[in-house]
């Protein structure tokens, strides 16, 4: 039976080492990243965060990062979720819970207990290789750090206007991404029509325990160039780059209500493999009754 959760405002050095060791072990076991990229980077940078910890027999067995905001966002590490975490989070409501993955068997009791959905994503995958991109008069080239930053930020923010996470890219945020060990400029493709940046496809390689997986990390088309097949061209260009790296699997994440994008990805051979949801508890509604986890 899992142990109780406690919420703490900071980690001492010994506990931080325990958390990192747990996340590393989860990634080896699950063959996936234990936390989403942004939350893992915040943890590694030592940003002010709160933390939920679960112990059994004195050993750390579960972890969730809690990002302070107007409404705090809690994300449990893969395999860490249980009803006792929900009970602990109910004590700091309002709070948002990011579940990855989010099977109905988990989300249904939360919805019944007063949590409400605020965002949903589909995780989609396809095998590689894919069809090569069609011939084009556009110039397709790699991103040049320090030279293309502002042009890409402007194009990205315009393409994602109103998006909850992607519409607020800044020079500082981009610089942090470019400084990550995984960044490879050759996989950050820009599509130009003359002097106009009309689309981009930023790819990323995840080095997992049982093999590398390529991700269509950010795909964007300038507002004035949409509905002209540039999204398809950009995705196929990214898939071609992944194929040239020898990868055999590609994935992406897409908003679950973005029917147009989902239709494009279906046409390109992607299929949904999991859901990701954010659920919010606005007040002191009762949390689900804790029950033993098999």
Is residue 16 one of the residues assigned to a domain? yes
Q: pLDDT for 83-101, tens place per residue? A: 999 999 999 999 999 999 9
State if pTM tops 0.95.
no
Is residue 271 one of the residues assigned to a domain? no
Is residue 269 one of the residues assigned to a domain? no
Q: Report how many domains make up the chain.
A: 2
Question: Residue 15: which CATH number?
Answer: 3.40.630.30
Is residue 219 one of the residues assigned to a domain? yes
**List of residues 6+ apart from 263 with CB closer than 8 A:** none
146 and 116, same domain (yes or no): no
For the chain, which residues score pLDDT lower than 50?
Answer: 285-294
189 and 243, same domain (yes or no): yes
**Using CA atoms, how far apart are residues 78 and 90, in angstroms rounded to an integer?**
20
Domain limits at 164? 129-247
Please give the pLDDT value at position 98: 98
178 and 219, same domain (yes or no): yes
Please give the pLDDT value at position 246: 97
190 and 116, same domain (yes or no): no
Is residue 11 one of the residues assigned to a domain? yes
166 and 236, same domain (yes or no): yes
103 and 146, same domain (yes or no): no
Q: Which residues on neighbouring strands pair with residue 55, listed in sequence order? A: 60
10 and 115, same domain (yes or no): yes
Is residue 260 one of the residues assigned to a domain? no
Please give the pLDDT value at position 289: 43
**Using CA atoms, how far apart are residues 138 and 13, in angstroms rounded to an integer?**
52
Is residue 292 one of the residues assigned to a domain? no
114 and 167, same domain (yes or no): no
Please give the pLDDT value at position 106: 95
113 and 74, same domain (yes or no): yes
Is residue 103 one of the residues assigned to a domain? yes
- Alpha helices by DSSP H, listed for the chain, are 13-30, 37-45, 83-90, 104-112, 149-159, 171-178, 230-244, 259-267
In the block, tokens 């990192």 appear at 20
155 and 64, same domain (yes or no): no
Q: Which two tokens stand for residue 13?
A: 């050095």
- Shortest CA distance to 22 belongs to which of 70, 56, 48? 56
Please give the pLDDT value at position 1: 53
104 and 181, same domain (yes or no): no
185 and 231, same domain (yes or no): yes
């Amino acid at each position: 039976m899992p142990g109780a959760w406690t919420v703490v405002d900071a980690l001492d050095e010994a506990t931080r080492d325990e958390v990192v060791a747990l996340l590393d072990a989860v990634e080896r076991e699950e063959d996936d990243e234990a936390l989403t990229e942004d939350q893992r980077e915040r943890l590694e940078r030592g940003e002010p965060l709160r933390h939920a910890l679960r112990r059994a027999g004195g050993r750390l067995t579960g972890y969730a990062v809690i990002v302070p905001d107007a409404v705090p966002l809690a994300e449990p590490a893969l395999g860490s979720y249980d009803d006792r975490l929900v009970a602990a989070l109910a004590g700091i409501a309002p709070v948002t819970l990011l579940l990855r993955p989010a099977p109905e068997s988990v989300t249904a009791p939360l919805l019944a207990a007063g949590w409400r959905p605020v965002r949903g994503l589909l995780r989609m995958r396809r095998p590689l290789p894919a069809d090569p991109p069609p011939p084009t008069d556009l110039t397709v080239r790699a991103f040049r750090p320090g030279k293309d930053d502002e042009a890409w930020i402007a194009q990205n923010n315009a393409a994602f206007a109103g998006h909850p996470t992607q519409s607020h890219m800044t020079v500082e945020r981009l610089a942090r991404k470019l400084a990550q060990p995984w960044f490879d400029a050759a996989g950050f493709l820009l599509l130009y029509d003359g002097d106009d940046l009309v689309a981009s496809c930023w790819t990323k390689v995840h080095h997992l325990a049982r093999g590398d997986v390529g991700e269509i990390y950010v795909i964007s088309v300038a507002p004035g160039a949409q509905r002209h097949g540039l999204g398809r061209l950009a995705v196929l260009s990214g898939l071609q780059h992944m194929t040239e790296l020898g990868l055999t699997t590609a994935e992406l994440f897409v908003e679950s209500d973005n029917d147009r994008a989902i239709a494009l990805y279906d046409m390109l051979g992607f299929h949904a493999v999991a859901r990701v949801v954010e659920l919010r508890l606005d007040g002191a509604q009762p949390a689900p009754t804790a029950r033993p986890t098999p």
